[in-house]
Structure 1
């Protein structure tokens, strides 16, 4: 879930509500989005392209099935729920915005996925101790360089498995969030998706 950049126009009402699961057992399930312009889901187009890579790229093929995924700055939970729809075993969502947390819980219930999900209301810069995840989705506010801080704090708290894929959405004009070689680097409008592994 990305936050609007200063000076960026808010999403249109129709755009804000057009959130759905793209593929898998929950395909077509519509997700609620918080009202207002403080948060906005990653577009269906970007999510579809991202998961096409995670399902079929040589460096990711087969890894999502039965995996534990971590969705940070979770917002609607679209990334984690999409992963569950496509075969992940369980998802942990981390978010500290109250309206987003309320919508996130509604979406998990609508997908009948409560038994597969854990919601943590926490600041990613000070996370609780966790269980290692093989996929880590980060979609923070643009322009604030939060990804390196988040990765460091999550690693220290035990949330990131040694071979985990880290998937970050940043602003198209933001600096790269890592010095590690990128497995993928794709632009989508005002956003940019980067994928790498710590190992």
Structure 2
């Protein structure tokens, strides 16, 4: 895995390796990440990275949030309760030297603590097919993590319906990965 574009373009990220068998780490491939970020940066959604406060739920390796930081996000909070994921995220933050622009919360994404700052860019990549994405968005909204009109990027095995409080913008398919883009209502 590598950073696709921006400040850290081409920089390698920590390899998942065998990781933790119970963690079910499934990082977004470079190809899917590149296609997704090209859509996000294409102008239809403004410039979602410039100065963004971001939240990466079920962060895994942190690749989605780190890509956003590389492209101009101001800060990214990573949330994952897996030990293997936490180590990978810390290693990647150290590799890129961006500790001052990040925060790692070792907590379940479906029961979040109160937010310090609402975020306007949210990545959501839950374990496929377990219904955790909607729970995580509900928790994030209730805990103050989601700013009005925040852009949500939700990766799953199938297109997702917009939960209450969100509007569906579009869905895209990349092989067996479906990305659903949502906008938080005001």
Normalising by structure 1, we get a TM-score of: 0.85
| Aligned residues between the structures | 178
Unaligned stretches of 5+ in structure 2? none
Residue matched to 1:185: 171
Match of 1:176 among 142, 157, 160: 160
Match of 2:66 among 52, 65, 81: 81
Q: Contact 2:167–2:184 at 8 Å: present in 1 too?
A: no
Residue matched to 1:139: 125
Return the alpha-carbon distance in structure 2 between the equivalents of residues 83 and 44 of structure 1: 14
Q: Counterpart of 2:90 in 1: which secondary structure? A: helix
Matched, 1:51 2:37: yes
Stretches of 4+ aligned residues off by more than 6 angstroms: none
Matched, 1:28 2:10: yes
Aligned Cα root-mean-square deviation (Å) = 1.4
Matched, 1:61 2:46: yes
Q: Contact 1:140–1:146 at 8 Å: present in 2 too?
A: yes
Shift of residue 55, structure 1, vs aligned partner: 1.1
Shift of residue 133, structure 1, vs aligned partner: 0.5
Q: What do residues 84-117 of structure 1 show as CA deviations (whole Å, max 9, x unaligned)?
A: 0000001100000001100110000100000000
Return the alpha-carbon distance in structure 2 between the equivalents of residues 154 and 186 of structure 1: 23
Return the alpha-carbon distance in structure 1 between the equivalents of residues 155 and 50 of structure 2: 22
Shift of residue 44, structure 1, vs aligned partner: 0.9
Normalising by structure 2, we get a TM-score of: 0.91
Q: What do residues 111-142 of structure 1 show as CA deviations (whole Å, max 9, x unaligned)?
A: 00000000000011111111210010000111
Residue matched to 2:113: 128
Matched, 1:150 2:132: no
Q: Counterpart of 1:183 in 2: which secondary structure? A: strand
Return the alpha-carbon distance in structure 2 between the equivalents of residues 70 and 177 of structure 1: 20
Q: Contact 2:58–2:124 at 8 Å: present in 1 too?
A: yes
Matched, 1:108 2:93: yes
Return the alpha-carbon distance in structure 2 between the equivalents of residues 164 and 115 of structure 1: 23
Q: Contact 1:169–1:191 at 8 Å: present in 2 too?
A: yes
Shift of residue 184, structure 1, vs aligned partner: 2.4
Shift of residue 158, structure 1, vs aligned partner: 0.5
Q: What do residues 145-180 of structure 1 show as CA deviations (whole Å, max 9, x unaligned)?
A: 1111110000000000011001100103xx624255
